Amino acid sequence: MYAGEADLSEKTITLAHGAGGVLMQELISRILKNISPRSVGSVGLSDLDDGSTVFIGDREVVLTTDSHVVKPLFFPGGDIGKIAVCGTINDLAVMGARPIALTSSIIVEEGFSIAKLERIVRSMDEIANEADVAIITGDTKVMEKGALDNLVLNTSGIGVANELIRDSGLNIGDKIIVTGTIGDHGISLLAFREGFSFETELESDAAPLWGTIKAALDVGGVTAMKDPTRGGLASTLNEMAKKSCVGILIKEDQIPLKDAVRAASEMLGIDPLEVANEGKAIIGVKPDNADLVLEAIQKTKYGQEARIIGEAIEGHKKKVVLETGLGGKRYVETPLGEPIPRVC
């Protein structure tokens, strides 16, 4: 089920409402009607960007917050702590903001292993140290056994930007760069849950992206950014196209995809374009700067497999068009929700 097919009569929350697709967008829009439209910066809650801004004196800072309910808590390539810190750092980074500090709020079920909790916190600290970001305050709550599924983790972050980047800034002709292979996180998590094995080990791509994004910003010409988490590349590109009022044309044979992810996706009947990523960014760049930006990204730790996958076009306004390897074209729709629940 895709955009236009959503059941607007839903009266209770389903897993799909938290999965980054059409239902989540509709739920958020409905909830926002109950919040006064106030803003203390140039980007507010109603903009539905990766964060919002607030003026402190004459300086505008970026704030973001995210809650994490991934299942299982530990998986190949990471754990809930790593995802939490990476996700918050990346939400700041794709708005052009250098991450400065994070908060951490943990809600844990009675009976949860203290050793596992310590392992999660160590993971958070390791990523924060790698990204040179401080975890400066937090809160811990315990709920009775059975009232919670192990642990829920919230992180909020603050950052500063020399130039704010929005997800709505694409212009006709801008090139679209993805900073690495897509679908790694969601597919690896599903394979791990279900006990599938492949010749090549699947791992989450969870990673802090400020270094990669800073390299792009230092070159210049970046017009729009967003990280393709829930709903994957499909949802992210559709959101950017709609907000920017442009069409987006992407080429299937230019989209970086690991062989193991491709094989697993085909076996499971899942479109990797709709699967969550936790260490990738989608970057719109002015055409004259695109090759230099790509080169700079590819020199960073987490950008070696970056590719130019398409461009913003005048036709097909607010739509995403995929040119297949055989030369045909089809629309890439916004999914109803993430095909793999509880991935972040």
Same domain, 186 and 128: no
Given a cut of 60, whether residue 7 has pLDDT beyond it is: no
| Domain annotation covers residue 188 | yes
Last residue of a domain, one of 161, 186, 219: 161
Last residue of a domain, one of 103, 133, 161: 161
Given a cut of 80, whether residue 274 has pLDDT beyond it is: yes
In the block, residue with structure tokens 């980047």: 165
Last residue of a domain, one of 161, 195, 212: 161
Same domain, 225 and 252: yes
Cα separation, 49 vs 54, in Å, equals 14
CATH assignment at residue 127? 3.30.1330.10
Helices (H), the chain: 22-32, 80-93, 114-130, 184-194, 210-219, 232-244, 259-268, 290-298
| Domain annotation covers residue 147 | yes
Q: Which residues contact 328 (CB under 8 A, 6 or more apart)?
A: none
Nearest to 176 by CA among 225, 113, 232: 225
Phi, psi (rounded to 5 degrees) for 174: -60, 140
Same domain, 113 and 154: yes
| Domain annotation covers residue 323 | yes
Q: What average pLDDT does this structure show over 186-195? A: 89
**What local confidence, expressed as pLDDT, does residue 200 receive?**
66
Given a cut of 80, whether residue 24 has pLDDT beyond it is: no
Number of domains the chain is built from: 2
Same domain, 99 and 196: no
Q: Are 301 and 228 in contact (CB under 8 A)?
A: no
| Domain annotation covers residue 54 | yes
| Domain housing 179 | 175-331
| Domain annotation covers residue 29 | no
| Domain annotation covers residue 271 | yes
| Domain annotation covers residue 320 | yes
| Domain annotation covers residue 189 | yes
Q: Are 248 and 312 in contact (CB under 8 A)?
A: yes
Other C-beta atoms closer than 10 Å to the C-beta of 293 total 24
**What local confidence, expressed as pLDDT, does residue 145 receive?**
97
Same domain, 268 and 180: yes
Same domain, 186 and 124: no
Same domain, 73 and 135: yes
Same domain, 188 and 122: no
Same domain, 151 and 179: no
Nearest to 163 by CA among 211, 225, 244, 103: 225
**What local confidence, expressed as pLDDT, does residue 195 receive?**
81
- The CA distances from residue 6 to 16, 23, 269, in Å, are 11, 7, 21
Nearest to 212 by CA among 98, 299, 305, 327: 299
Same domain, 207 and 145: no
Same domain, 127 and 209: no
pLDDT digits (tens, 9 = 90+) for 98-152: 999 999 999 999 999 999 999 999 999 999 999 999 999 999 999 999 999 999 9
pLDDT digits (tens, 9 = 90+) for 37-91: 667 878 877 777 788 999 988 888 999 999 999 999 999 999 999 999 999 999 9
Same domain, 212 and 238: yes
Cα separation, 88 vs 136, in Å, equals 14
CATH assignment at residue 234? 3.90.650.10
- The CA distances from residue 84 to 40, 66, 101, 292, in Å, are 26, 7, 13, 31
